[in-house]
Amino acid sequence: MGSEVKRDDTQMEALAAILAGGIDAGLAEAGWRLIAAARRIVLLAHEHPDPDALGSALGLAHALRPLGKECVVACADPAPENYTFLPGRESIVTALPDEAFDLVIALDAGELSRYGALYTRHQAFFDTATILNIDHHITSSGCGQVNIIDPVSAATAELLTLFLLARGVAIPKVAADCLLAGIITDTRAFEFDATTARTLMAGAYLVGQGAVPEASIKPVYRMKPLAKARLWGAALDREMRVTADGRVVWTAVRQAYLAESGATADMDDGLASYLLDIDGVGIAAVFKEQAAGSATKVSLRAAAPYDVAAIARRFGGGGHVHAAGCTLAMSVDEAIHALTPELEAAVRGK
């Protein structure tokens, strides 16, 4: 039994060494210098957070606190109720207690505007603060003095795993739980083609640290509240349309459907990916009406060879090649009218 444990430890050390070599050493060192010099750190997750944004912020905080760092995890929006698989989610604040921070670590988005009300309420502070930006989106421009942006990483949580291992920082189980949740949900349980051998190795390392894949897979992909099922039913039954010879599908989630179903605003999560699974579909879109019809949030998903990040960029958004989004300052119907021709042109041009 003892020899088996030793052999496992040796394998974990070898895996850690491989992963540590996957990040740019100069950038990792520059980022760590900012952390080393800071005592009190605020870690930002972008607005309308997903498990990668929150898992990255919480996971990094869990790893830094044993080093004597005072960490505050902040997000403009509260964590969705079903994110109970993220240890420490109850500690997330939606308003900064003060501005006495030595360092801001902005995670999973490369533009300060993506941090929503946190940024607008404290714009003067953020515009002059020392910022370390860690992100994996190909559309990120970087918002920090040091920007560690790696589109090869399938999730910001994958990039953070490399970053911590490159600096020899221990990843305790609570941090591993958070980081694995980020990787799993940004790859749809390692299904998306952004998943690489390195992504799988990072997942394996975090499992080796005690993280349990089912803890996030079950609530995100298998369990659905009744209200969420009713919301999806309304959107699919009343709004779903198929165009471009079956290669484009879209639907809309209106405020009235949220009220009728008793669903919360985050319960459209996963709907765009569900539409993409329809046989023959190349691009799927969900148009989500915001409060008072003031704007429309659009979630885009694509199968190869289509690029929805390029489409989202043209409308002021961004994301991944096969998973992107944008927010349009117009009604749902106006947004559908403006964007669906772009989706149809994209599939017909390939």
Q: How many C-beta atoms surround the C-beta of residue 251 within 10 A?
A: 25
Co-location of 35 and 105 in the same domain: yes
Cis preceding linkage at 305, omega within 30: yes
Q: Among candidates 189, 143, 134, 138, which has minimal Cα distance to 162?
A: 134
CA distance 121 to 100: 15
Q: Among 192-196, 212-216, 243-247, which is the least confidently predicted range?
A: 192-196
If pLDDT is split at 50, 70 and 90, which confidence band does 6 have? Answer: very low
CA distance 264 to 109: 24
* Residues sharing a CB contact under 8 Å with residue 325, sequence separation 6 or more, in sequence order: 297, 298, 299, 300, 312, 317, 318, 319
Contact (CB, 8 A) for 172 and 62: yes
Co-location of 166 and 195 in the same domain: yes
Co-location of 110 and 157 in the same domain: yes
Co-location of 79 and 129 in the same domain: yes
Q: Which two tokens stand for residue 72?
A: 């505050």
Task: Inform me whether the pLDDT recorded for 183 exceeds 90.
Answer: yes
CA distance 44 to 286: 26
The range of the structural domain enclosing residue 331 comes to 226-348
How do residues 275-317 score in pLDDT, each as one tens digit?
A: 999 999 999 999 999 988 789 999 999 999 999 999 999 999 9
The Cα angle at residue 266 between residues 264 and 269, in degrees rounded to 5: 130
How do residues 154-165 score in pLDDT, each as one tens digit?
A: 999 999 999 999
Co-location of 204 and 341 in the same domain: no
Q: What is the pLDDT of residue 1?
A: 38
Co-location of 242 and 290 in the same domain: yes
Co-location of 287 and 216 in the same domain: no
Q: Among candidates 131, 229, 208, which has minimal Cα distance to 165?
A: 208
* Residues sharing a CB contact under 8 Å with residue 188, sequence separation 6 or more, in sequence order: 221, 273
Of 168, 197, 220, which residue constitutes the final position of a domain?
Answer: 220
Of 171, 203, 220, which residue constitutes the final position of a domain?
Answer: 220
* Residues sharing a CB contact under 8 Å with residue 228, sequence separation 6 or more, in sequence order: 261, 263, 267
Co-location of 207 and 239 in the same domain: no
Q: What is the pLDDT of residue 8?
A: 78
If pLDDT is split at 50, 70 and 90, which confidence band does 180 have? Answer: very high
What mean pLDDT do residues 81-91 have?
94
Co-location of 76 and 128 in the same domain: yes
Co-location of 118 and 182 in the same domain: yes
Share of the chain above pLDDT 70, in %: 98
Q: How many C-beta atoms surround the C-beta of residue 167 within 10 A?
A: 16
Co-location of 214 and 230 in the same domain: no
Q: How many C-beta atoms surround the C-beta of residue 293 within 10 A?
A: 14
How many distinct structural domains can be found in the chain?
A: 2
Q: Helices H, strands E: what count in the chain? A: 14, 11
Q: What is the pLDDT of residue 3?
A: 39
How do residues 246-257 score in pLDDT, each as one tens digit?
A: 999 999 999 999
What mean pLDDT do residues 35-45 have?
98
φ, ψ of residue 262 to 5 degrees: the values are 75, 20
The CATH number covering residue 272 comes to 3.10.310.30
Across the chain, what does the average pLDDT equal? 94
The CATH number covering residue 74 comes to 3.90.1640.10
Q: Are strands 131-135 and 103-107 parallel, antiparallel or unpaired?
A: parallel
**4 vs 127, residue with greater confidence:** 127
Contact (CB, 8 A) for 156 and 135: yes
In the block, tokens 């779903």 appear at: 240
Of 220, 241, 270, which residue constitutes the final position of a domain?
Answer: 220
Co-location of 236 and 196 in the same domain: no
